[in-house]
Amino acid sequence: MNKYETLFIQNPSLDEEATKANIEKFKGIIENGGGTVENVDVWGRRKLAYEIAKVNEGHYTLINFSSDAQLPKELDRVFRITDGIIRHIIVNLEK
């Protein structure tokens, strides 16, 4: 099991309910994929460093988790196809 962290930014036009639903969706993907969620840190709405797709703000969330090497690939795929995700990154903490 490797340790990872993922940070993703959601579009601020999503309501609070949809934002929480996305966070639960990603936690579920990690847990159903054999990983364990260690920490979920919701940073809230913050100003972006630069404009992305005509958006200046985003809702930031950081998730620390442990899993095998295949789960981050699946998580990345789901981030890419989920509406409302502006940017995401998954980092292996053990390298």
Q: Is the pLDDT confidence value at 6 over 70? A: yes
User: What percentage of the chain reaches a pLDDT higher than 90?
Assistant: 96
Residue 74 backbone phi and psi in degrees, to 5: -70, -40
Domains and CATH numbers, the chain: 2-92 (3.30.70.60)
Are 66 and 35 a contacting pair, CB within 8 Å?
yes
Query: What is the rounded distance in angstroms from the CA atom of residue 32 to the CA atom of residue 56?
Result: 33
For residue 88, which amino acid is it?
H
Confidence of residue 8 (pLDDT cuts 50, 70, 90): very high
Q: What is the pLDDT of residue 57?
A: 96
Confidence of residue 88 (pLDDT cuts 50, 70, 90): very high
Structure tokens at 3: 């340790």
Query: What is the rounded distance in angstroms from the CA atom of residue 14 to the CA atom of residue 85?
Result: 10
